[in-house]
Structure 1
C-alpha cells in the first residue's frame, strides 16, 4: 500500500543518513549489473564500507521496483542503472525468439503466464502469448506510427509496452480482459546468439535448409549447424525446431547431442555436436571393403541401444534409416534427424498425413492408418539392419515405393543379404512381423544382438 511504501522510505532515508555520517560511500562504476559482486576497495576498511553500502543498496532496490514487485516478485534484488525495459528485445528474459506457436503453448501453464515470440507466419511481426481462463491466447503486437501497442497507449519499444502492462496490470484488450501476471523465462541453457557461431564449410542440404560445419566461439568447439530456410511454411519450421525441443531432454552415447539453438532472429540455427564420420549410409558405401562382421554387429547394437533409450522416453522416431544415423569417434553409431519425431505419453502417435513418407522404411500400420509407435520404429530398425548388412544397398532393390508397399501387404519380406549371418536375418524377420504386438522391444533387440556379437 502507499502508506507502507512511505513508511519504508522514511526508515531507509534515516538509514541512509546514518550510513553516510559513519563513512563516505565508495564511488560506484558507471554501470553496475546484477552479477557484479566484486569488492570495490582492496583493504578491509573499504570492504566494510562496501558491505554496508551493499546492504543499503539491496534495500533501496525495492524502492525502485513496482509495488507489485515489493510484495513478492522474483525479480533481481540488485539495483540496475539500466532499467530492464530499456534493454533490447533479445535480452528480455520473456522473449523466446522464433519458437513455434505449439512450443509457446506448452510453456504457458498457469493463469497470467506470458511470453513474447516472433511470428512464424510473418517474420518481423511479434506475438504476445498468454495463458488466461484456461485458454492460451495469442495477441499480435501492433506497430504503427513508430509505436507498439495492443489497443491503448503506444510505446517506442516492445519491452516498454510489456513492462507497462505487466507493472500496471492493465488489460491487453478490454474484450479479452487478459492480464500479465508471470513472465515465462526462457531456458538460457540452450539459447545461443547467432554471433556465437561462425559458419564454415557446407556439409549438405536437406528439406529444411543447409547444414554447415561451424565453430562455437566461446570454446572454439567444432559443431554442426542446421539452418532453416526463411521462406519455409510455418508447419515445416515447427518440424525443424521440434528436433531441438526433443533433443533437449536426452543424453545418451548413441543419440546425437544438442549444443543449443539460435532463435532470436531468422534464420533459425540448431547447433549440434559435429560427428566426424558423417552419415551412416555414405559410410557403409564408402568403407564396405574394410568393414568386418564384428563392426557391423557393433553398429547394430549401437542403434538398438539408442532406440531402446528413445523407447524408454516414449519417443517415436518415425524416420529411422541409415541416412539418419551418424558415425562418430571410434565408429560409434548415433541416432540423428529427429525432425519427424514425436514424444507421446502413451507411446502412440496418429498422423493425419505426411507429405514425405519414407515408404520402404515405414511399417504397414503407419502407412495404412497413420499409426506410429515404438513398434513401427522396430519395423524400420529391421530395414536399417538390412541396409547395414547389405553395406548400403537401397531396400527392396528393383522395386518402386508403391511396388514395395504392395508386396509387403502380400507377405513378401526382403531376402537375407549376402554377408548377413542367419541369426541376424532372423532378428530382421522378427522386426517385420505384420502385427505390431508380435515385434520385439528394442531392449530385447539390443540384448540378442549383443549376444550374437560376443560369439
Structure 2
C-alpha cells in the first residue's frame, strides 16, 4: 500500500531532502498516481514537446538553457511559475528541480520541476527574424552586404570564438561591424558591462532606441536568404601562416608558409593596387580546372577581403632563373638543361590545348623541386594586371624582352605569343639564367628585333635546339611552331643526347 501524505508533502520532501531520493521513490513509486496528489504534465499530450529521456535521466549542468514544456504554477515562495514556451537559464540543480532564471517575460528566479522543462539549444531563437544560426562571420558579412539589405540591417548569430556567446552584426554603409554579446553568470545578456538584459530580444529593443551607444542604428533584421556557397578551394586566411619571403614580382610577394600549421605551401600575396580584382574570381576558376604534372598545383585561395592569397604547392629550389644561376645550377650539363626545356614545353602544350594564354612565360615563372622537376607557374595572371602597370609606357614593368612584338606593340596575345616567350626561356635555360638582350633597354630591344636581330646561340645550347629558338622568333605569329611540335622535337633531341632514356 502506497504511503499516503497530505498532497503537498511529496514535492516538499523531494525538494528539501533530495539526498533521500531512493527512500522517496520507495514511498512514491515512479508512475503511481493518487487523486489526492496533483498530476505532473502528461508527456503524451504533446509528442513534440516530450522531453528526451536523456534530459530527465541525467541532472542538468549549471549554465544550461531550458524551455518550459507546459504551465507550472508555483506552490511555495521559492518556486518559480512558468508558462509553456518560457526560456529558462539553469543556475544550479537541486534533485528533481532546477533553480533557474526566467529569460522571457518578467525576469525572476526560483525552482522549477525537471518534468516541466526540456533542455533548449540556440535554436530557441529560431522563430526570431533577426536570429541566424550556423553562419560564420564571413557569411554574415556577405548576407548583410548583399543588394537585398541596406545600412542598418542587422542579425544575431552564435559567436565563432566564444562558446555560449553571440555576435551582433550590423551593416554600416559599405562595411559590417560586429559586436560581442556575452552571457552573464545568471543567464542574462550584455553588450556593455553593467547593462544586463534577460533576453536577446530585450537587448535589441534597448539598442534600437539607444543606437548611439554602439554608433550604428538597428533599423531592420537582415533579409533572410541562403548565404553564398563557398567551394572547397576557398579557405579562411587564418589557416595560413607566412614564414619566409621567397620573392617579389609583378603580382605581389611570394612566401613560404604553412597550411594549418603543418603543410608547407607557397603563398602568393596579391597586391590589390596592381590587380584587377573584379576579374580575379574568373581567373581563379580557370586555375581550379587545370591539373597537369607540369603545372604548379593550386591548393587553396583566400579571395574574400584583402590581401588575396593564392596558395600552391611549394617547390623548394625556387624559380628556374635563380636556380640556374646558383652553383648547383651552373654545374648541370646540357642534357639536364634540355630536360628542363622538355618539361616546360609539356606544360605549355597542355595550356595551348585548352586555349589558355600564359602572357608572362619566363624562367622566373617556372619553379623547380628537389628532384629537378619543373612546373610552369603564374599562367593567366598577367591578364589581370592593370593596364597602366603592364604597358610599354610604364618602362621596365612590362617584360618586353620576353614579349612577342605584336603583344608589346598592340597587346595582341595568343598561344603564338607564348611561343615567342618560350624561345627566350630556352635562351635563359642554356645560358644558365643570363638576362636576354643584356645591356639593351626595352626600347633598344624592340628596335633591334624589328631590324631582324635575334639572340645568339648560348655555348651550352645544341645546334638543333637553337634552330627551334629561331623558329619561335618568327616575325609572323602564324609561322611559329605549336607547343606540341616543340615538345616532340625537344624530346627527340633530348633522347639523342641522353641515350639512357627510353
Under a length normalisation based on structure 2, what TM-score does the superposition of the two structures give? 0.57
Aligned to 2:36: none
Q: List per-residue Cα deviations over 1:132-171 (Å, max 9, x = no partner).
A: xxxxxxx885799x953789xx99999x99974345xxxx
Pair 1:84-2:128 in alignment: no
Question: Which of 220, 239, 263 is the aligned partner of 1:221?
Answer: 263
Correspondence 1:254 to 2:254: no
Partner of 2:491: 450
- Equivalent pair of 2:153/2:219 in contact (CA under 8 Å): no
Out of 376, 384, 388, the residue aligned to residue 425 of structure 2 is 384
Who is 1:310 aligned against? 351
Distance in 2 (CA, whole Å) between partners of 1:376 and 1:206 is 21
Over 3 Å counting, the alpha-carbon distance change for 1:283 and 1:235 in structure 2 is closer
Which residue number in structure 2 is paired with residue 193 of structure 1?
Answer: 236
Q: Deviations over 1:190-246 (max 9, x none)?
A: 12222212221222233444322211126x1111122245xx427455577776444
Structure-2 change in CA distance of 1:235 and 1:390 (3 Å): closer
Conserved 8 A contact 1:243-1:341:
no
Q: Which residue is equivalent to 1:410? A: 451
Q: Deviations over 1:33-64 (max 9, x none)?
A: xxxxxxxxxxxxxxxxxxxxxxxxxxxx9xx6
Q: Does 1:17 align with 2:65?
A: no
Equivalent residue number for residue 25 of structure 2: none
Of the three residues 143, 146, 149, the one matched with 1:128 is 146
Residue 437 (structure 1) shift? 0.9
Matched, 1:270 2:310: yes
Aligned to 1:212: 255
Once the two structures are TM-superposed, the CA of residue 85 in structure 1 deviates from its matched residue by 5.5
| Corresponding residue to 2:331 among 279, 283, 290 | 290
Q: Secondary structure at the match of 1:448?
A: helix
Contact 2:270 2:309 in 1 (8 A): yes
Distance 1:314 1:162 in 2: 49
CA contact under 8 A between 1:228 and 1:237: conserved in structure 2?
no
Residue 312 of structure 1 and its aligned partner are, at CA, apart by 1.9
| Cα deviation, residue 184, structure 1 | 3.6
From the superposition, tell whether residues 234 and 392 of structure 1 become closer, same or farther in structure 2 (CA, over 3 Å): closer
CA distance in 1, matches of 2:329, 2:136: 54
Provide the aligned length of Structure 1 versus Structure 2: 335
Give the conservation status (yes or no) of the 8 Å contact 2:152–2:220. no
Give 5+ residue unaligned stretches, structure 1. 1-13, 32-60, 68-81, 96-114, 117-126, 131-138, 168-181, 344-350
Structural mapping, 1:388-403, within 5 Å: 388-403=429-444
- Equivalent residues of 2:257, 2:267 under 8 A apart: yes
Q: What's the secondary structure of 1:316's corresponding residue?
A: coil
Mapped contact 1:258–1:271 kept (Cα < 8 A): yes
Aligned 1:155-166 pairs, distance under 5 A: 164-166=222-224
Q: How far apart, CA to CA, are the structure 1 residues paired with 2:259 and 2:459?
A: 44
Structure 2: how far apart are the matches of 1:248 and 1:15? 55
How has the CA–CA distance of structure 1 residues 240 and 226 changed in structure 2, closer, same or farther, with 3 Å as cutoff?
farther
Q: Which has the higher contact order (CA 8 A, sep 6+)?
A: 1
